[in-house]
Every structure is written in C-alpha cells, then in structure tokens.
Homo-oligomer: A and B are copies of this chain.
C-alpha cells in the first residue's frame, strides 16, 4: 500500500471526552470516528487491524474443529421470551418493533438463536460434539458508553457455542476452546492471563476469563507468578493465613477503646498489629416474600423478622461480596440497619463482636479468623473492645466460610507459591452453560438408547474490537501506539526523505517497497512527500512496529536507517540487505 492511495488523517489532540489512552490514541491516529455515543466507524486503518485479529481467530477456531456460521443481528422476541431473558435483561437489550409491530431485539449475544438452530438441526447423539462460531456485530445499549471501543454499544464479537451429549463431552469441548483461546492471544502478541472466573448468575460449573494485562484494566486478577494459577479477585480462593490455631496465651479482657471504631484505630491505640483485630459486619436477610392471595397474610409475612448474620474478618481484610452472595441462605442479603444492630447487639456499629449479644445471630467467621487466637473484637458496648478472645474457650466454634478478597502475598490456592495482584481487561470468556438454554428451549437429542436428553452447551466469546483497545492500553508510549506485529495495520513503513525531490531516493524506496511486498510483508510506502518530522510523528502515533528511512545521505554509503518502534536507537543497515533483514525480524515476531 502507498500512503498517497491510503487515507491518513491524524489529529494533534483527542477530543476531551476521550478518557483513556486507547480511546485518545485511536481517535488521534484516525482509526475510529464517532457516529453516536458508543457507535463508531472503523476507518481503513483500524479495519486492517480488525481483519488481522479476525483472521487469527478464524484460523484457530477452525483448527479447533469449530464451524463458522452467521446468525442474524435482528432476532425475534419470542426466542428471548422462551429463554426467560426477555424479562430478565435490563435496558441493555435494545428492543424494537418491525413494521407489523412485532417485537424484536438486536442481539447482544446469540444463545437463544443458536439453541433454536440446535433444537431443529441436532436430532441424534451422532451429530455431536459440534461447535459453531460466528464473527458478528452485536449491540448492547450501555447506559454510559465510554472508553471508545472498550465499552461501545455496537461491537464485533466472535461467539462460539458447543453442543455435547453430557458433562464429560462439554468438558472436552471447553478444553479445546480454552486451548484455542490461549493460542489466539499468544499469536496476537499480547501479555494475557486465563483466570478462573465467577460464574455469575447464569450458573454452570466452569468459567474462565481471558484478560489482557494492563494497569488501566477494570478487573483485579490474582495470580501466582510461579505457577499457572490465576483467578479474578472476585473468584480467587482465599486460604487461611494461619495454618493451625495457636493455644490461648491471654485472658479475656475488656479494655476501654474510646473513639476507636475502626480496627486500625483499635490496633494503634492498643499498640498491636492490625492482624490481631477482627472486624464485624452485620447483615440482614429478609424472610422471602411469599405469594399469597390474601393481602392480610402477605402483610404479616412481609413483617417477619429478618435473619441476622455476623460476619467476622481479620482487621486488614475486605469482604468479597460475590463469595458472600453464593453462601446458602444469603440470597437477598443487605447491610443491617442501625436499629436492627442495636436490637440484636445492644450497641451501635464500631464496637460490635461475637460475645454478649442481646439476641441470637448466626456467626460466620472467615477461614483466617477461624484459625486466630488471642484476637481482639468489639465488646458490644460503646467505647470498649475485648482482647485475648479465643474460640472454644470464650465462645463457641464458629461456622467457617471463605468471605474475603485475596491480597498480594496470600498463599496461592494451588500450593505453588504466593499470589500477586494485577489489573486486566477482559477480552475473552469461556463458559460451561450446561443445560440452561437447552432446557428452556427444549433442545433435546436422542441418546444411544433412543431417549430424549437435553443437549449440554458451552459458550465462548472474544471481543474482537475490544482487543484493539486492550492491546493499546498494554502497548503505548508518549508518542503513540506500539502495535504487536500480528495486529498492526501495517508491519513496516518506508519513509523516504525527499521522495519528490530526489530520484535516487524514489528509486531506492520503490525497490525496497517492491522487495518487501514480494516477501509477503505488509508494507506501506509513505510517498506523500511530507517532511520527515510529520512522517515520523504520524507513523509513531499510528504505531507501525518497524520503520526504514531512506535518504540521499544514507544512500551515499549504501545504507538505510532502521528503527524499531519499541527500540531507543536506530540501526544502519546495508540498503540492499535491509528488506531481507526486516522481513526476517517481522516473521520471527509473528512466530513468537
């Protein structure tokens, strides 16, 4: 490609509403243009990267035996009513009516459509396993679209759906997709981690997210640098930090702790480490509202007393609400009101603890707290705490659960090291759906004995256009984007100095260009006749990973100047050998 025949329109500054660096750089480089909130045109520069990502995804999906098809964007409401999501989904689901006033949605995802296809096409166990995928444009009506392509409303996704006879088959299909995802993100040249994920409300048993590691990521990931272990902090197992409970050393003592409502203040006041304190969190779980015909009875039920839970966490730990939400009986929990706390504990928040309550509550200790001895809790008396508290001696053994977020330095759940925490941007998700949709839509097959069984499904997504933003968040500097070779809009740019003025330069540039093209390198020749400063700034902003500069001066010595976008210094190369050398560099990077 020659720059004169391409469309390059870079900007000095990004619009003020571009909050993050990838959004700013994509606008400045002329990759995307906004049409409406969260809705963009992918200009030729960005589309080149999109198509390269798609090609790699397609190759790896095909290699994993997935079959490409294409489902419609506009989907009939009936399918969403059958699955129940017509009611469950919020306003992110863009609903519309056609000219005959029939309800449709613009698909944010395609579980309903693919399950409808499966129930019509898959009749026998012999047709499985089968995995279908598509690369398709989706729409989610985000309440506040932002961050450019990172949280847009219209976006391109690769979504795949596997169909198996049973859980064991699903596990095999899932592993194939998992392996394909690892190959995809590796080939794209991204630093990424597959992390165990929370299954959310969809249920199902296995789920991993694929995160591009970047400081600006929205998600916290706990990982073990010395093993494969990684999990979203939401889902990471927190092991007890004390292996065995030590024998009590202290006696139970009530101490005055005026104006020390936080563990930090208590520890400071008493001159002990924060790790000796235990914090109390009081929850209320309302009795489930019952569907009663008699409004009088319903009212009485509504007035039933809530269950009160006391959660105990070590003073330096934080509550993990996802883990809490999954505990049996915790559905619909809320923080208890001050009135409820005073009713059950006889004291206001700040001095609460598991000893000497007014009314019985369920005490639930985090795994670490359950192993503590001689610890400090509130005395249920304003201005006082208890020290030297010991399980079994001073109060009954508690019920134990994993309640906290892991922190840097925690033991890794796989026993192979300690955890570190980093931030990531989710670009892929693999998910064992099970029979959630096949049961709702009655997608069954006949097994070997001729019995109808629900098909067992998995779903697997990759945010194609989101990858652009995530890759930039991970790869940029003050001058612009640092594309990995595999998704760069061009692999190399030739910048001739004096292209219009000097025939020597023009001939050498065109020869180099022709050589690189012939070697299958995706090269652009900047034949615009711009000044060197303009050329260099444009291509550094756009992020082309390799640059060759040709000038009369360097040609006199039969040299040209090579500059790697990530490298500080240029290298002078023999101008005739340059094409071979940089082609080899690019191939090596693509194979890495």
Contacts A67-B6, A69-B43 hold; do A33 and B117 have CB atoms under 8 A apart? yes
Residues B106 and A71 in contact, CB atoms below 8 Å apart: no
Segment of A137-145, A287-295, A532-540 engaged in the interface with chain B:
A137-145
Residues B7 and A113 in contact, CB atoms below 8 Å apart: no
The one of B73, B96, B121 in contact with A7, judged by C-beta atoms closer than 8 angstroms, is B121
The one of B30, B43, B69 in contact with A47, judged by C-beta atoms closer than 8 angstroms, is B69
The one of B33, B70, B104 in contact with A42, judged by C-beta atoms closer than 8 angstroms, is B70
Q: Does A39 contact B (CB under 8 A)?
A: yes
CB A367 to nearest CB in B, in angstroms, measures 42
State which residues 47-80 of A face B: CB under 8 Å: 47, 50-51, 65, 67-76, 79
Question: Which chain B residues border A70 with CB–CB below 8 Å?
Answer: 41-42, 47, 50
The one of B44, B117, B137 in contact with A132, judged by C-beta atoms closer than 8 angstroms, is B44
Question: Which chain B residues border A94 with CB–CB below 8 Å?
Answer: 74, 96, 98-99
Residues B141 and A36 in contact, CB atoms below 8 Å apart: no
Residues A104 and B7 in contact, CB atoms below 8 Å apart: no
The one of B72, B76, B98 in contact with A41, judged by C-beta atoms closer than 8 angstroms, is B72
Q: Complex: how many Å from CA A68 to CA B46?
A: 10
State which residues 24-45 of A face B: CB under 8 Å: 30, 33, 35-36, 39-44
Contacts A33-B120, A39-B74 hold; do A67 and B44 have CB atoms under 8 A apart? yes
Q: Complex: how many Å from CA A200 to CA B521?
A: 45
Q: Is chain A's binding surface mostly helix, strand, loop or mixed? A: mixed
Q: Does A116 contact B (CB under 8 A)?
A: yes
CB A18 to nearest CB in B, in angstroms, measures 16
Task: Place the interface of chain A in its size category.
Answer: 35 or more
Q: Complex: how many Å from CA A75 to CA B413?
A: 49
Q: Complex: how many Å from CA A35 to CA B36?
A: 29
Q: Complex: how many Å from CA A33 to CA B69?
A: 11
The one of B9, B35, B98 in contact with A76, judged by C-beta atoms closer than 8 angstroms, is B35
Residues A41 and B153 in contact, CB atoms below 8 Å apart: no
Q: Complex: how many Å from CA A143 to CA B132?
A: 32
Q: Does A526 contact B (CB under 8 A)?
A: no
State which residues 69-119 of A face B: CB under 8 Å: 69-76, 79, 91-92, 94-99, 102, 104, 106, 113, 116-117
Q: Does A415 contact B (CB under 8 A)?
A: no
Q: Does A198 contact B (CB under 8 A)?
A: no
* Cβ-closest chain B residue relative to A116: B35
Residues B141 and A99 in contact, CB atoms below 8 Å apart: yes
* Cβ-closest chain B residue relative to A70: B42
Q: Does A154 contact B (CB under 8 A)?
A: yes
CB A65 to nearest CB in B, in angstroms, measures 6
Residues B99 and A91 in contact, CB atoms below 8 Å apart: yes
Question: Which chain B residues border A102 with CB–CB below 8 Å?
Answer: 36
State which residues 250-273 of A face B: CB under 8 Å: none
CB A113 to nearest CB in B, in angstroms, measures 6
Residues B74 and A153 in contact, CB atoms below 8 Å apart: yes
CB A243 to nearest CB in B, in angstroms, measures 51
CB A394 to nearest CB in B, in angstroms, measures 55
Residues B73 and A47 in contact, CB atoms below 8 Å apart: no
Question: Which chain B residues border A75 with CB–CB below 8 Å?
Answer: 35-36, 39
Q: Complex: how many Å from CA A94 to CA B99?
A: 7
Q: Complex: how many Å from CA A318 to CA B414?
A: 85
The one of B41, B50, B121 in contact with A113, judged by C-beta atoms closer than 8 angstroms, is B41
The one of B7, B41, B65, B121 in contact with A71, judged by C-beta atoms closer than 8 angstroms, is B41
Residues B33 and A121 in contact, CB atoms below 8 Å apart: yes
Contacts A67-B44, A98-B141 hold; do A74 and B117 have CB atoms under 8 A apart? no
Residues A44 and B71 in contact, CB atoms below 8 Å apart: no
Question: Which chain B residues border A137 with CB–CB below 8 Å?
Answer: 73, 137
Q: Does A5 contact B (CB under 8 A)?
A: yes
Question: Which chain B residues border A47 with CB–CB below 8 Å?
Answer: 68-70
The one of B33, B68, B74 in contact with A139, judged by C-beta atoms closer than 8 angstroms, is B74
Residues B98 and A69 in contact, CB atoms below 8 Å apart: no
Q: Complex: how many Å from CA A6 to CA B62?
A: 11
Offer 27 A-B interface pairs, CB within 8 angstroms, sorted by A. Answer: A7-B67, A7-B127, A7-B132, A9-B121, A33-B120, A35-B71, A35-B75, A35-B76, A35-B79, A35-B116, A36-B76, A36-B102, A39-B74, A39-B75, A40-B72, A41-B113, A44-B68, A47-B68, A47-B70, A73-B137, A73-B154, A74-B94, A74-B154, A94-B98, A94-B99, A95-B96, A99-B143
Q: A33-B121, A39-B72, A74-B106 are in contact. List 10 more A-B contacts (CB 8 A).
A: A9-B121, A35-B72, A41-B69, A41-B117, A42-B69, A51-B68, A91-B99, A92-B99, A95-B96, A106-B106
State the 10 A-B residue pairs at the shortest beta-carbon distance, nearest first.
Answer: A96-B96, A91-B99, A42-B70, A44-B67, A36-B76, A39-B72, A99-B141, A41-B71, A72-B154, A44-B69
